[in-house]
């Protein structure tokens, strides 16, 4: 690799890390901020752009140095940010791009599941993590493509918005754990645990929060004291 190329990729890496840090910070702030408040909307916008920059900045690297795993995670996080941001807008109305993006997510997710299975059969335990991301993305993609044209009430928009934003947060946390924690683990099982921990802990949270919103029309995960 030439010096200009190394400089280019080093710059992308810095942008990726900064955007990821901003995305994780804004995700935590948004989750603790009152839904509908002006500050929540501003934080959500910052989260969206951070996720967009984080995802797109890593794609050129996966093209020059092929990495289907990293590319899949980048595409997953981009869709989560896009779908969550779209449903979070008060002025949201269905557009064909919503269904196109959802169908593409479902296709990519199915490929992630298939490739994850291939990695597992080849002895690479990280295939489990890729398959887990794929199953999550497949569920979201199918739901969004099937329900794309249906008029959404405010509660349903909030429910979908929250689930997709938390889905993107899984991707950020996974990236942070792997980049910062991989140096401290050497066993494949421990490395797999780093990849799967955010998915294992946050996916039930998404389900519980979505159910609570749907049945109580309240946006807090836990009842206010």
DSSP codes, 35-46: TTSHHHHHHHHH
Q: Tokens standing for 177?
A: 């754990």
Instruction: Provide the residue ranges of all domains of the chain, joining segments of one domain with +.
Output: 3-216
pLDDT of amino acid 220 = 63
Q: What is the pLDDT of residues 170-219, one digit of tens each?
A: 888 887 777 667 667 777 777 778 888 888 888 888 888 888 887 777 76
pLDDT of amino acid 179 = 67
DSSP 101: H
- Cα–Cα distances (Å) from 190 to 69, 87, 136, 183, 197, in that order, read 18, 36, 22, 11, 10
Residue 64 pLDDT exceeds 80: no
pLDDT of amino acid 219 = 66
What's the whole-number average pLDDT of the chain? 82
């Amino acid at each position: 690799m030439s010096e200009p190329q190394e400089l280019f990729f080093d710059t992308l890496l810095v942008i990726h890390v900064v955007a990821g840090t901003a995305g994780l910070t804004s995700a935590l702030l948004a989750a603790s901020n009152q839904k509908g408040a002006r500050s929540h909307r501003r934080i959500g916008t910052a989260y969206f752009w951070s996720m967009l920059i984080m995802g797109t900045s890593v794609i050129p690297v996966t093209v020059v140095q092929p990495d289907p795993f990293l590319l899949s995670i980048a595409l997953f996080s981009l869709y989560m940010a896009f779908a969550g941001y779209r449903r979070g807008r008060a002025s949201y109305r269905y557009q064909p791009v919503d269904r196109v993006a959802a169908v593409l997510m479902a296709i990519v997710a199915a490929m992630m599941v298939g490739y994850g299975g291939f990695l597992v059969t080849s002895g690479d335990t990280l295939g489990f993590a890729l398959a887990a991301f794929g199953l999550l993305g497949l569920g979201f993609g199918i739901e969004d493509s099937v329900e794309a044209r249906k008029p959404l009430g405010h509660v349903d928009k909030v429910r979908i918005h929250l689930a997709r934003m938390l889905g993107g947060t899984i991707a950020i946390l996974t990236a942070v754990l792997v980049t910062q924690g991989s140096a401290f683990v050497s066993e494949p099982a421990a490395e797999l645990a780093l990849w799967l921990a955010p998915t294992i802990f946050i996916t039930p949270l998404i389900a519980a929060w979505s159910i609570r919103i749907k049945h109580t029309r309240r946006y807090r995960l836990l009842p206010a004291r």
